[in-house]
Amino acid sequence: MKLTEATIVALAEHLENCELQARDTPKITLDHPEMDWDDAYAIQDEIMRRKRSRGARIVGLKAGLTSYAKMRQMGVETPVFGFLSDGFSVLDGGAVATGELIHPKVEPEIAFMIRTPLRGPGCHVGQVLAATDFVVPAIEVIDSRYRDFKFDLKSVVADNCSSARFVVGGMMRNARDLDLRTTGVVLEKNGRVVALGAGAAVLGHPATAVAELANHLGRRGAEIPAGTLVLSGGITEAVSVARGDSIRLRVHEMGSVSVHFS
Ligand code: OOG
Ligand code: MG
């Protein structure tokens, strides 16, 4: 680690305040170019600790930048991992208060509900599928705290990977009955198709993103706990939204999920 404990705490407070006050900021590596990966995850962990100390519960985890569309869009090429707090959850068909966000975008994702703990190293698609209770479609709402979504990987990790809101559909499917590689997704904004793709866009199979999350946590002496919802990453490029927009995600044989930006 290159940053002092005091700097990590100060950067976590700064980034979380930007989140809570819907303010943007230049990326933090401009002032801290020496920051390393451990520093970046330590800042994210400190944001989690701050939320927990106010009574928040961590209800899920996420992988990000797991599809080529997302890597190309953001100009980076390594998956990153973050957490989902209970306050990020929006009900299917519900509304996101747009004024609480800076410049939100939506992503079509497949979410895994994990029944038995998953721990790397060596975690693979087979173990993920065996440990999965069910899969559901999900819309992730991302909102980078960095000005114009301009960041590098370490800055985005420190910012909890742009996590802001997520919406989960109510039709659960057994992953054993599906070939998630060919599962098609259609994302609609105000009734018009704005993005489409298939599960294989995420590292060849969305469960690979969950395995990579378990391997990442394993290197840090942690695991994916039972009962965790895991978002496996945007299948297509993220789509910008504004107040008044209605979003619907249709996923082949997995139903649909929708959200409105009020
Ligand atoms: C980082 C978060 C990416 C995904 O699914 O790829 C992400 C960003 O693009 O701001 O959640
Ligand atoms: Mg995402």
pLDDT less than 70: residues of the chain: none
Class of domain 56-261: alpha beta
Token pair 């002092």 in the structure block, residue: 4
Backbone angles phi, psi at 2, to 5 degrees: -110, -25
Of 183, 182, 197, residue with least CA distance to 238: 197
Per-residue pLDDT, 40: 98
Residue 182: its pLDDT value, please?
Answer: 98
**What pLDDT, on the 0 to 100 scale, is given for residue 1?**
95
CB-CB contact of 106 with 238 (8 Å): yes
The predicted pLDDT at position 76 comes to: 87
And the tokens for 254? 């997995």
Ligand nearest to the CA of 66: 1
- Choosing from 62, 65, 71, 185 the residue with most ligand 1 atoms within 8 A of its CB, the one to mutate for a pocket test is 65
Please give the backbone phi and psi of residue 214, each rounded to the nearest 5 degrees, phi first: -60, -40
pLDDT at position 112:
98
Q: 70: Cβ below 6 Å to ligand 1?
A: yes
- Nearest Cα to Cα of residue 210 among 232, 184, 240, 191: 232
The pLDDT tens digits for 83-131 are 999 999 999 999 999 999 999 999 999 999 999 999 999 999 999 999 9
Return the domain boundaries, the chain: 56-261
Of 138, 115, 146, give the one whose Cα is nearest residue 29.
Answer: 146
| Residue 104 CB–ligand 1 contact under 6 Å | no
Binding site membership of 29 for ligand 1 (Cβ less than 6 Å): no
- DSSP string over 41-96: HHHHHHHHHHHHHTT--EEEEEEES-BHHHHHHHT--S-EEEEEEGGGEE-TT-EE
Instruction: Tokens for 228, please give them.
Output: 């965790």
Q: What is the mean pLDDT of the chain?
A: 97
Residue nearest to atom 3 of ligand 1 (CA): 64
